[in-house]
A and B are shown apart, each in its own frame.
Chain A
Amino acid sequence: MPAPVRPGGRRGWDPLVRLTHWTIALAILVNGALLRDGTVAHVWIGYAALSALILRLLWGLIAPGPAALAEMPLAPSRALAHLRDLVAWRWHDSPGHTPLGAWMAVAIWSLLAVTAVTGLVLEADPFPDDDTHHAWSDYRYDHDDDEEDEDDDAHETGGAGAEVAEDLHEAAATGLLILAALHVAGVGLESRLSGVNLAKGMIFNRRERTKR
């Protein structure tokens, strides 16, 4: 006899998680891969990503259910068990983050924080026509196509601190792109393994089973 009740879909991520997730995803993609330099758009997208991160972490303190930071399965033993499951091609149902997924989120949030803060150090002014901006950013706006000279410019006008900030900014940004690629691969793998299209849970209110 078939189940009398329609097998219902699973609850997806809440709207705030989805909004902040895609804001950050888009920001990493655009700022990391398309707009490499300190253009005004780059600065604005950076602010949007930073506020999405702050909002997500704040929401993590208040949110009910799997969006709560306290609900994230961060115990190392669980991550190891999850890794063993993946190797053995087994799958355990989890309503929110998977153990490795939770660590991925923490890693991306941390690198995003580093990228955003160093970005603020490098160029905090979202309105460059203002009279408070730094001489160094002026220079950058005129010469942003000239990658080779950047390090020298920073050294000349921004000092060693700015140079360190810039190196950190670029390293963290590269790390974010790598983590984002790993994250997409991980979601694909888990979806394949579980038969649940996990990406749908990040787009729609609920995720349905794609196969039994």
Chain B
Amino acid sequence: MSHPPGDLRRASLLAAALALQTLAAVFFIGDVASDYRWIGFDPHTTFEAMVALALIIGIGISALEMRRTLLRIRRAEEALSLASGAFAEVIEARFAGWGLTPAEADVALFTLKGLETSEIAALRSAAESTVRAQLTRVFAKSGAGSRAQFVALFVEDLLENARAGPDSGL
């Protein structure tokens, strides 16, 4: 896995640094310009012009670094959504393989997401006994003896995914 949170912080820091660099550059260039107007080109003005130039180069480098960081964040996000999309496909394929009805698939998915029987019943506006019965059929079809075993069937797939990693092409 890559580290988007670290990159996000990095991007914010770069933005703040760039803002300060640009403010400094604007002041400096203004100073060089007014010095040039009053004094002309002397060692002092030349040196200040060099500092201003260095500031501008620094701004360019920071901005390019910012661009790289944002692109890295985007790639990590895309890999992540690809991974979760792939996992969703795995889930759907399994549900279809077990021959779950749409209602059973719904209940099974809510169970995977960690919802209690009572919560699923409320979400589906169904009786708890109905949900329990559907869940029993889901377990029977999948061959799982319990809620924990049912979830464990998918943990295996997730671990496969993590080993493959988002960078290895999935």
Which B37-74 residues have C-beta < 8 A from chain A? 38, 59, 63-64, 66-67, 70-71, 74
B66 partner residues in chain A, CB cutoff 8 A: 14, 16, 59, 62
Q: Which of A14, A19, A58, A63: most chain B Cβ within 10 A?
A: A14
Q: In the complex, are the beta carbons of B63 and A62 less than 8 A apart?
A: yes
Partner of A15, one of B15, B23, B25, B102: B15
Q: In the complex, are the beta carbons of A16 and B71 less than 8 A apart?
A: no
Interface residue stretch chosen among A1-9, A100-108, A174-182, A185-193: A1-9
Q: Complex Cα distance A82/B74, Å?
A: 28
Q: In the complex, are the beta carbons of B81 and A58 less than 8 A apart?
A: no
A51 on interface, CB distance cutoff 8 Å: yes
A54 partner residues in chain B, CB cutoff 8 A: 22, 26
Number of B residues near A (Cβ < 8 Å) is: 35
Dominant SS among interface residues on chain B: helix
Whether A4 contacts B88 in the complex (CB less than 8 A), given A14-B11, A124-B30, A124-B34, comes out as yes
B70 partner residues in chain A, CB cutoff 8 A: 14, 63-65
B19 on interface, CB distance cutoff 8 Å: yes
Q: Nearest residue in B to A16 (C-beta to C-beta)?
A: B15
Q: Complex Cα distance A201/B129, Å?
A: 43
A55 on interface, CB distance cutoff 8 Å: yes
CB distance from A203 to the nearest CB of B (A): 13
Residues of B within 8 A of A (CB): 8, 11-12, 14-16, 18-19, 22-23, 25-27, 30, 34, 38, 59, 63-64, 66-67, 70-71, 74, 77, 81, 84-85, 88, 91-92, 102, 105-106, 109
Please, could you name 5 A-B residue pairs with CB atoms under 8 Å apart, sorted by A? A15-B11, A65-B70, A124-B30, A124-B34, A205-B8
